[in-house]
Amino acid sequence: MRRENEFLYTKLYKTLKEQICNGHIQPGEYLLPENELSSHYGISRKSVRHALSLLQNDGLVIKRAGLGTMVPEELIIEKSEPQTLRILTPSPAFFVDRGLPVFMEAFKNKHPHIDIQVLGLPADKFWESFRSSNEMGLIADLVLVPDIKFSELSCSTDFVDIAPFVTDLTDTIYPKIMRHFRSDGKMLAAPFTFSSVFFACNPDLFEQQGIPVPINRWSFDEFVAAAERLTLAQDGMTTQFGFSMHPVANRWLSLAVMNGFTPGDTANHKHVLTHTLSVIQDLFFRKRIATTFPEMVWPRTPFIQGKSALVLTTTFEMANWQNEDMNFIPQVIPLPFDDGCATLLLANAFMVPATSQNVQLAVSFIRTALEDAAQRELTDKTLFLSVKEPINASAKKRSYLHSLNIANNQIDNNFFIDELFDDDIRNELEEEMSMFWLGLEPPASIVAACERLVLESEQK
């Protein structure tokens, strides 16, 4: 047992020494508190103190009463080979190309000696690929996860509780978003950007048809009437659609939410789903004023190509439009609400794997991303939103935030998709709907399949 304890504190001593010498922990910065070092590395407080004592003997740290253990400000570190911070992300992911570089640049300004390596894993098999990469020795320091992937996480012990490291930076984050990534008092993921699902339009097409672009609240009937006028045909062929959207759950379910679909109201679910799917079927197959597009055609979608006047979208998707040679400037417009004022939310967050050997460095990256300066840079340079309400309020027009349904307390009316259906139900429901999107399956069949999936889930 004695030899084992010696090995543990020696290993921690070497790990911390390497982090200091490589610049992960810079002169003037504090090490993690003793209890957090003990928890993360799975050793006793006594072993932690022994390792810190060895570092102090080397002159690499000093202890400050009431403050903690710090690397001396006057310590001179000789240059060494660059260290690498590895970030795993789903691929494809809109944020990686347009938003992540903002945080990377801010981090590099603080840690110029650190190399950052971004590695993409297949989005459809993300957690499976993550585990495989670990087994092959590709240990990530940070993992970028959309809210849907976070909800699919099966083992929370695989990741570090980030709360103790970032509590001073989270006070102004929208509470709705913060709550989504907390569980049992732990914060397993730190959100850094989000979006609602909303409408964008091609104002040029509206002008060509003499239709005013909606700037205030409009009804669903008014939306349908506009889509009819914006749909054009020639020689019996549709040349322009009034409306388009990607046929995935986080698009069509926003229409259900607009129609009053809420978590827990099972008595009303069947009615709302039937009505929503009937409306979709009416738009796409009876009136023929709307169209979908498969994921494989991205980025050549009808809206980007000027062949659709309206689209159901997100800021993630819009940010990526900046890469495209579009001949018009998309305009965000209010959602066509009737009684309820709610839509879906999406968010991206960072997680720190428990296997990371660079926890302090990973936490430093997260802190950089959550600092007001980096969040402002994100909103100024890109179309992504900050997770901090005051920054969005100062950077975006009030009308814009209202159109996204997130101004004031509007965001609390919205839902993350896993609040409506768990992952298994959602995935199976999307498979069940493949024929529906071709016009070959009636709404009643989809609703029946949904009821069956919910019942099976409750019986497990």
Return d(Cα 308, Cα 304) in angstroms, integer.
Answer: 8
Which CATH number characterizes residue 13's domain? Answer: 1.10.10.10
* 446 within some domain: no
Return d(Cα 454, Cα 442) in angstroms, integer.
Answer: 19
Is the pLDDT higher at 392 or at 22? 392
pLDDT surpasses 50 at 303: yes
Report how far apart the first and last C-alpha atoms of the chain are (Å, whole number).
Answer: 44
pLDDT band at 294 (very low <50, low <70, confident <90, very high): confident
* 431 within some domain: no
- Whether residue 289 contacts residue 243, with contact meaning beta carbons closer than 8 Å, is answered with yes
Stretch 313-317: mean pLDDT: 94
pLDDT at 153: 84
State the chain's mean pLDDT as an integer.
89
Report the phi/psi class of residue 405: left, alpha or beta, with left for phi > 0 and alpha for psi in -120 to 50. Answer: left
pLDDT surpasses 60 at 146: yes
pLDDT surpasses 60 at 297: no
Planar angle of CA 250, 251, 255, nearest 5 degrees: 115
Report the phi/psi class of residue 61: left, alpha or beta, with left for phi > 0 and alpha for psi in -120 to 50. Answer: beta
In 3D space, the residue among 430, 417, 415, 425 whose CA is nearest the CA of residue 455 turns out to be: 425
pLDDT at 452: 87
pLDDT at 184: 79
* Same domain, yes or no: 141 and 104: yes
pLDDT at 137: 76
Count, residues in the chain: 460
pLDDT at 158: 86
pLDDT at 213: 96
* Same domain, yes or no: 162 and 203: no
What pLDDT, in 10s, does the model give residues 418-453?
Answer: 999 888 888 888 888 999 999 999 999 999 988 888
- Whether residue 328 contacts residue 51, with contact meaning beta carbons closer than 8 Å, is answered with no
Planar angle of CA 375, 414, 152, nearest 5 degrees: 80
pLDDT at 343: 96
pLDDT at 15: 81
pLDDT at 440: 93
**Cα separation values, 16 from 31, 163, 328, Å:** 9, 22, 54
- Which string of DSSP letters, residue by residue, matches 229-285? HH-EEETTEEEEEEEEE--SHHHHHHHHHHTT--TT-HHHHHHHHHHHHHHHHIIII
pLDDT at 212: 95
Last residue of a domain, one of 10, 33, 62: 62
* Same domain, yes or no: 337 and 203: yes
Strand runs (DSSP E) across 409-458, as ranges? 415-416
Tokens of 381: 């340079």
pLDDT at 145: 95
Stretch 319-343: mean pLDDT: 86
What pLDDT, in 10s, does the model give residues 216-252?
Answer: 889 999 999 999 999 999 998 999 999 999 999 999 9
What pLDDT, in 10s, does the model give residues 104-121?
Answer: 999 999 998 889 999 888
The gap from C-alpha 189 to its chain's centroid, in whole angstroms, comes to 10
* 72 within some domain: no
pLDDT surpasses 70 at 289: yes
* Same domain, yes or no: 57 and 102: no
pLDDT at 389: 97
What is the chain's percent helix, strand, coil content, to nearest 5?
50, 20, 35
pLDDT band at 323 (very low <50, low <70, confident <90, very high): low
pLDDT at 75: 85
- Whether residue 311 contacts residue 303, with contact meaning beta carbons closer than 8 Å, is answered with yes
* 70 within some domain: no
Percent of the chain with pLDDT over 70: 95
CB atoms closer than 10 angstroms to residue 268: 13
pLDDT at 189: 96
* 3-class DSSP assignment, residue 194: strand
- Whether residue 81 contacts residue 114, with contact meaning beta carbons closer than 8 Å, is answered with no
pLDDT at 3: 38
Stretch 33-46: mean pLDDT: 82
DSSP state of 286: I
* 235 within some domain: yes
- Whether residue 50 contacts residue 9, with contact meaning beta carbons closer than 8 Å, is answered with yes
* Same domain, yes or no: 45 and 23: yes
Q: Is the dihedral of CA 275, 301, 349, 393 positive or negative?
A: negative
DSSP state of 285: I
* 408 within some domain: no
Structural domain boundaries enclosing 150: 83-194+347-399
* Same domain, yes or no: 51 and 140: no
* Same domain, yes or no: 222 and 333: yes
* Same domain, yes or no: 310 and 230: yes
pLDDT at 216: 85
Tokens of 418: 């896993």
Q: Domains in the chain: how many in total?
A: 3
Residues 6+ apart with CB under 8 A from 191: 173, 177, 178, 180, 181, 347, 348, 349, 387
pLDDT surpasses 90 at 454: no
* Same domain, yes or no: 318 and 235: yes
Q: Which of 103-107, 117-121, 179-183, 456-460 has the lowest mean pLDDT?
A: 456-460
pLDDT surpasses 60 at 195: yes
